[in-house]
Amino acid sequence: MSWTDWVIENTLNGVPRVALIDKMKQEGFEEADAVAMTSDLDRLAGYKAADKINEQYKKLCSVVGNLQALQEQDPEYTTVEKIDFPSEEVFFKEYWTRNKPVVIKNFAKGWPAMSKWSLEYFADKFGDELVEVQTKRDEDNEYELNSIAHKTKVPLREFIAKIKATESSNDFYMTANNHTLRETKLKDALEDVGHLPDYLTKPAADGNTHLWIGPKGTITPIHHDEVALFHVQIVGRKVWKLISPLYAPNMYNHKGVFSMMDVHNIDYNRFPKMKDVKIIEALVEPEEALFLPIAWWHGVVSLDWSISMSIINFKYPNTWTYNNPTGAYR
């Protein structure tokens, strides 16, 4: 990013001029040059056009901000309901069309997976299969954004042995960014999925169902998905931090569907707009499933070693359009 772009962007974001000048002086600018660059912004190439677009952006921000404030008038806003299986009518009206998260308590009750799936089961039945996992995550603060660079194929037996030998780690994890259920014999594990509600179709090895396996301590950094999904917990517990999509202007969404901040340890000096954001927490335990509606920001921590699966095969249309930032200026 050029210094001209930097001055324009920070000015439009409301950073005081004196702070801009101080920062530029710290970076080696003469004070007179810093004062000149920040004094007559109309002369800067692109400023007038950017200011006009910014006015429209601020109007949009005010609208979604008011809608979010209206939702937060509900005294139970910060609580994710835990309910028994809802009827299709209730699910559609109360959660799908309202874009509201909910945890279904008995989602996987009676599934063969609940009694069969364990580390030993997968090692014994599918141990020779080469599976795709993320590794060396500790070396990269943006490991999920750079997930392709962290993909490694290992025998499932070896991966499971590593989990069993590790008390807690975020360095390796089988996430949704794999093709395990499509390309290996682990697709047979889908036979262990039991009853599903009428608004879902049977999971298949078609890329719409994903298997997650990892040790205690795995972290999913803050991002939003581009579809709605159910995340079904088979073994272990996970804590979800959820943020309404109406808070998008506060989310420091620098590239794609990712944010540059750490929702599990927020630096409010670096990310001050997060001070106004209400974060909702949900604990999801074995047999439960979290309905994650479209565009809800979420970060997840595993409290135990875990096995879970995500399902996106709803009977309702579940394809959406997003204009994601490219990160071209950073």
**pLDDT for res 41:** 81
For the stretch 230-266, pLDDT in tens is: 999 999 999 999 999 999 999 999 899 999 999 999 9
For the stretch 97-108, pLDDT in tens is: 999 999 999 999
Residue 329 has pLDDT above 50, yes or no: no
**pLDDT for res 202:** 85
Q: With residue 132 as reference, give the H or E element that holds it.
A: strand 130-134
Question: Which position has the higher pLDDT, 52 or 287?
Answer: 287
Residue 138 has pLDDT above 90, yes or no: yes
**Would you place residue 11 in the very low, low, confident or very high pLDDT band (cuts 50, 70, 90)?**
confident
d(CA 269, CA 35): 25
Residue 6 has pLDDT above 80, yes or no: yes
In sign, the C-alpha dihedral spanning 245, 246, 251, 254 is positive
Strands (E), 159-316: 209-214, 219-224, 229-235, 238-243, 280-284, 289-292, 297-302, 306-311
- Could you tell me if 169 and 218 are in contact, meaning their C-beta atoms sit under 8 angstroms apart? yes
Average pLDDT, the chain: 93
**pLDDT for res 328:** 58
**Would you place residue 79 in the very low, low, confident or very high pLDDT band (cuts 50, 70, 90)?**
very high
User: Counting beta carbons within 10 angstroms of the beta carbon of residue 270, is it exposed (0 to 12), middle (13 to 18) or buried (19 or more)?
Assistant: exposed
pTM: 0.89
SS3 state at 324: coil
Planar angle of CA 289, 103, 280, nearest 5 degrees: 120
- Going along the chain from its start, the domains and CATH numbers come out as 3-68 (no CATH), 78-311 (2.60.120.650)
For the stretch 180-226, pLDDT in tens is: 888 889 999 999 999 999 999 888 777 789 999 999 999 999 999 99
- Number of H helices and E strands in the chain, helices first, is 9, 12
Picking from 306, 310, 311, 312, the residue whose alpha carbon sits closest to that of residue 173 is 306
**pLDDT for res 182:** 85
Residue 319 has pLDDT above 50, yes or no: yes
